[in-house]
Amino acid sequence: MLALGLLLLAVAAALWLIPSRQYIFLPDRAHPVAPLVEVAGGHDPKDGGGIYFVDVVVRKASLLERIFGGLHDGADLYPASRVVPPGVSGSQQSDVDAAEMRTSQRVAAAVALRALGRKVAAVPDGALVTGVQPGLPAEGRLLPTDVITAVDGRTVSSPDDVTRSMRGREPGDRVRFTVRRGRRRVTVELRTVAAAGDGRRAVVGIFLAQSERIDLPVRVSIDSRGVGGPSAGLAFALDVLEELGRNVDHGHRIAATGELFLNGDVGPIGAIKQKTIGAREAGVDAFLVPAGQNARDARKYARGLRIIPVKSFQQALRALATLSGTE
């Protein structure tokens, strides 16, 4: 019996240590934002409240976790393709996540300062790659968060510039893209293919948005402590206002999640289940989430936590004022 017990223990240990091909998403208790943010001329509020951001622990699941997915409260398992796109390595995806976080920090500071009436300059500086179509030439060669600054040596300042540069190309042509990738400049040459449904139009398979250089009138630094992605943008912006003297939380502990855009809109995020559990476990008074499906999903796991759906930064500020009974 002893030998059998030791054998079973050894098997369980091996299953726990050996990684599977799936990823596991786990809740992480919400964290105060104030210790991570420094604003020139600002200070951390001391009214007993505070803004909290939520994160998710993402790692390779062990074989044991893969077999018994319910080992952790609030855990979800996903195939690797849902976490790291085909053609992208794990390290490349980490770089993408870090770049998205840096951008979200700048945007959060800009939105907060504009809410205070400060002038923030946003200068177009390229075409931002927001997505890559699987199976097309750009897969694994151009990455989300790459900024295209030139096509075949011709300067690009907007997605329209890329579109104009691609006109007249034929399937099979080679196109040279100069991109800004983090702090590096990279040249990627791709051979075009025919667009689906239009055999005469040449494409490489990328989705684009406007990239802008944001010049802040006040120095704002945010230490994300290794957290990646854009979903903390709303929380960062709320805390910047707090540190510049605006009473945003009115003494409440407020968790917030949502991608923040330069026009103040709040966009949806992933892993809302784990983030709601993390906010709930931190004992906050309310949780601001993007309106729509995110809010509907958050309510499923709220268990008494107040969920406040918002579509914009200004709506978030109004909701918090109403929460305190003041305007």
Residues 254-263: what's their mean pLDDT?
94
Question: Do residues 312 and 256 touch, judged by C-beta distance below 8 A?
Answer: no
pLDDT for residue 11 is more than 50: no
Question: Do residues 265 and 240 touch, judged by C-beta distance below 8 A?
Answer: no
Residues 304-321: what's their mean pLDDT?
96
Burial 164-187 (b: 16+ CB within 10 A, else e): ebbeebeeeeebebbbbbeeeeee
How many whole angstroms separate alpha carbon 58 and alpha carbon 84? 11
If pLDDT is split at 50, 70 and 90, which confidence band does 27 have? Answer: very high
Query: 28-55+111-117+217-323 has which fold?
Result: Ribosomal Protein S5; domain 2 (3.30.230)
Question: For a pLDDT cut of 70, what percent of the chain falls above it?
Answer: 89
Q: Which of 74-83, 199-208, 276-285 has the highest mean pLDDT?
A: 276-285
Q: What is the pLDDT of residues 80-112, one digit of tens each?
A: 877 777 666 777 777 777 778 888 889 999 999
What are the two backbone dihedrals, phi and then psi, of residue 179, each rounded to the nearest 5 degrees?
-130, 150
How many whole angstroms separate alpha carbon 53 and alpha carbon 30? 6
Residues 244-253: what's their mean pLDDT?
91
If pLDDT is split at 50, 70 and 90, which confidence band does 3 have? Answer: low
Q: What is the pLDDT at residue 63?
A: 78
Provide the mean pLDDT of the chain: 87
Q: What is the pLDDT at residue 325?
A: 47
How many whole angstroms separate alpha carbon 148 and alpha carbon 157? 8
If pLDDT is split at 50, 70 and 90, which confidence band does 18 have? Answer: low
Q: What is the pLDDT at residue 13?
A: 52
**Cross-strand pairs, 179:** 148, 186
What's this model's pTM, rounded to 2 decimal places?
Answer: 0.82
How many whole angstroms separate alpha carbon 67 and alpha carbon 44? 46
pLDDT for residue 319 is more than 90: yes
Helix (H, G, I), strand (E, B) or coil at 143: coil
pLDDT for residue 287 is more than 90: yes
Structure tokens at 31: 């964290």
Residues 275-289: what's their mean pLDDT?
97
Helix (H, G, I), strand (E, B) or coil at 229: coil
Q: What is the pLDDT at residue 196?
A: 87
If pLDDT is split at 50, 70 and 90, which confidence band does 12 have? Answer: very low
Q: Structural domain boundaries of the chain?
A: 28-55+111-117+217-323, 121-213
- CATH topology of 28-55+111-117+217-323 equal to that of 121-213? no
If pLDDT is split at 50, 70 and 90, which confidence band does 327 have? Answer: very low
Q: What is the pLDDT at residue 77?
A: 87
pLDDT for residue 70 is more than 70: no
Q: What is the pLDDT at residue 125?
A: 92
Q: The domain 121-213: what is its CATH number?
A: 2.30.42.10
Rg value, the chain, Cα: 23
